[in-house]
Amino acid sequence: MAIKVGDPAPDFTLPSQNGSSVSLKDFRGKAVVLYFYPKDDTPGCTAESCNFRDQYEVFETSGAEVIGVSGDSSESHQKFANKYQLPFTLLSDKGDQVRKLYGATTAFGLVPGRVTYIIDPSGVVRHIFNSMFNFKAHVEEAIKTLQQLV
């Protein structure tokens, strides 16, 4: 069952690119931009992640955390983050349990979907953006939603 706007964001704990466990509840009191993407170091995912990187200061200024999630390993995430100087947390969702929990399933029945959730400081989902190919819009939608929350 997919998460909808207005639903509480389900908590989870996953390993980050540096191997530490990260839980969504750790960010309570801050807005969270939680984006699910298909795979590290592929053209679309690199474009999307670099767009988040390039606008990271805007997210920081608005008091929001950016968290990327894919099924890649922590080691893959570490290489990806280092290669593109990604300043935010990447989480390894092996087996896609959290992806399924949120309903950010597959695109075209083959590839893990590209979905961004904006979660307010109290833990409620305020916006969902789902687009496989409009990479830049994930960042634009996130910024626009965060501006409305302030």
Could you list the active site residues?
45
In the numeric block, which tokens belong to residue 37? 């993407």
Q: ∠ at Cα 106 (144, 126), nearest 5°?
A: 25
Q: Among all chains, which residue has been given the structure tokens 């349990």?
A: 97
Burial class (CB in 10 A: 0-12, 13-18, 19+), 92: buried
